Amino acid sequence: MDNSALADAVLAGDRRALARAITLVESTRPEHRAAADMLLERLAGAGRQAIRIGLSGTPGVGKSTFIESFGLMLVSRGLRVAVLAVDPSSARTGGSILGDKTRMERLARTPDAFIRPSPSQSHLGGVARRTREAVALCEAAGFDIVLIETVGVGQSETVVAELSDVFLLLLAPAGGDELQGVKRGIMEVADMIVVNKADGDLKATATRTCADYAGALRLLRRRPQDPEGFPKAMTVSALADTGLDTVWEEIRTLVDWRRESGHFDAIRKAQARFWFEADLREALLARLRSTEARKALEMLSDQLADGEITHTRALAQMLHDHLNA
Ligand SMILES: Nc1nc2c(ncn2[C@@H]2O[C@H](COP(=O)(O)OP(=O)(O)OP(=O)(O)O)[C@@H](O)[C@H]2O)c(=O)[nH]1
Ligand SMILES: [Mg+2]
């Protein structure tokens, strides 16, 4: 299939074509990169927009179960749902998605859903770029909702928050002092805190945990991009399928409000800037990591240490020789 036929198939919502297109953007081979860029340019004009929902939570909190139940609920409402994963640890085991495939079995079988395992790359910057491009491909393929999942470790939540329109933090019922365990930074970027496993013996604890987080969220400054009452905390049971409708209603409320107030587009624009600057920084650093640059850097550092060159001159020479500045 040539590039333009692939573009047409993606636009027609063909899931196999979408999978191939994502494989293309994930490839690190230069000739694939060129084809991927051409494809992305072809599709950019479609102007389709999904609601991008980021979802983060520690291992075992119930992300996969939540995505399965929530995804099926969305599909039952006539929406097409794509699921992508940002998993910085997938290089470690390579196995996590196998578990997910079985846990999301029903969703995976639904014609209106598309599930994509995370690319097995350890470099988070590369994963972020490829995920962004995969999101764009899912939008071009006409998906209404793109769910972007990440396990809550390290910086991957920040990456997903910068990739999504609405960011959900999934938590498990827990005793009072665990509240401090959630980093303040992540509380500040979460649009909704969803306490999962509010069923059976865990229900009372889940309700208490939710109240604790609701209290903590009220202490945060109200954000200009939010309507009254956000960010919110709520309880669900992904297993018993309760509270998921409410999560969706709240997402709709937030998205509708932001669309009307102009914040929806403003946030996406700010994200585009954020990624442009992040990738530029990364590209510049990559140049400085070339063998030639590293040799020059070492030589200049020696000269600097020996007092043979000034700091200003050494800096100017590096910038001139290796960044064309
Ligand atoms: N009681 C109860 N158990 C749940 C619920 N949701 C998930 N679980 C259970 O919690 C365990 C972990 O669920 P997963 O959905 O695999 O969790 P995850 O966050 O995807 O885990 P990782 O992929 O390892 O990060 C499983 O045994 C689920 O059955 C729920 O709503 N209630
Ligand atoms: Mg999982």
Q: How far is the CA of 254 from the centre of ligand 1 (A)?
A: 26
Tokens for 2?
A: 């040539």
CA 224 – ligand 2 centroid, Å: 33
**pLDDT exceeds 80 at position 152:** no
Q: Does position 26 have pLDDT exceeding 70, yes or no?
A: yes
What is the pTM assigned to this prediction? 0.90
Report the pLDDT averaged over residues 222-249.
Answer: 94
Give residue 266 CA to ligand 1 midpoint distance, Å.
35
29, pLDDT greater than 50? yes
Question: b/e string for 112-144 if b means 16 or more Cβ within 10 A?
Answer: bbbbbbbbebeeebebbbbbbbbbbbbbbbbbb
Nearest residue (by CA) to ligand 1, atom 30, is 197
Ligand 1 binding pocket (C-beta < 6 A) is: 57, 59-65, 96, 103, 151, 196-197, 199, 202, 237-239
Full set of structural domains in the chain with CATH = 1-46 (1.20.5.170), 48-261 (3.40.50.300), 273-322 (no CATH)
Cα 275 to Cα 45, 135, 271, 280, distances in angstroms: 20, 14, 6, 8
pLDDT in tens, 35-56: 999 999 999 988 899 999 999 9
The mean pLDDT value of the chain amounts to 89
- pLDDT recorded at residue 182: 73
Report the 3 state secondary structure along 219-249.
Answer: CCCCCCCCCCCCCEEEECECCCCECHHHHHH
SS3 for 262? Answer: coil
Torsion on CA atoms 234, 163, 82, 122, rounded to nearest 10 = -110
Q: Is the pLDDT of residue 251 over 80?
A: yes
Assess whether pLDDT exceeds 90 at residue 175: no
Q: What are phi and psi of 271, to 5 degrees?
A: -65, -40
User: Mutation test of ligand 1: which of 106, 239, 241, 247 has the most ligand atoms closer than 8 Å to its C-beta?
Assistant: 239
According to the model, what pLDDT value does residue 92 have? 45
Burial 27-58, CB ≥16 within 10 A → b, else e: eeeeeeeebbeebbebbeeeeeebbbbbbbbe
Q: Of all residues in the chain, what percent carry a pLDDT higher than 70?
A: 90
| pLDDT band (50, 70, 90) for residue 234 | very high
158-169 average pLDDT score: 93
Give pLDDT, residue 163.
93
Q: What pLDDT is attached to residue 94?
A: 43
> What is d(CA 149, CA 16) in angstroms, rounded to the nearest whole number?
21
Over the stretch 260-317, which tens digit does the pLDDT of each residue have? 999 999 999 999 999 999 989 988 998 889 899 999 999 999 999 999 999 999 999 9
Task: Look at residue 102 in the predicted model and tell me its pLDDT.
Answer: 63
Nearest partner of 301 among 313, 290, 289, judged by Cα: 313
- Strand stretches in the chain, DSSP E: 51-57, 81-86, 113-115, 145-151, 166-171, 192-195, 232-235
pLDDT for residue 318 is more than 90: yes
**Whole-angstrom Cα distance, residue 81 to residue 112?**
6
Q: How confident is the model over 59-82, as pLDDT tens digits?
A: 899 999 999 999 999 999 999 999
For range 114-125, the mean pLDDT: 70
How far is Cα of residue 181 from the mean position of the Cα atoms in its chain? Answer: 22
Q: What is the pLDDT of residues 84-115, one digit of tens each?
A: 988 765 444 444 555 565 678 899 999 999 99
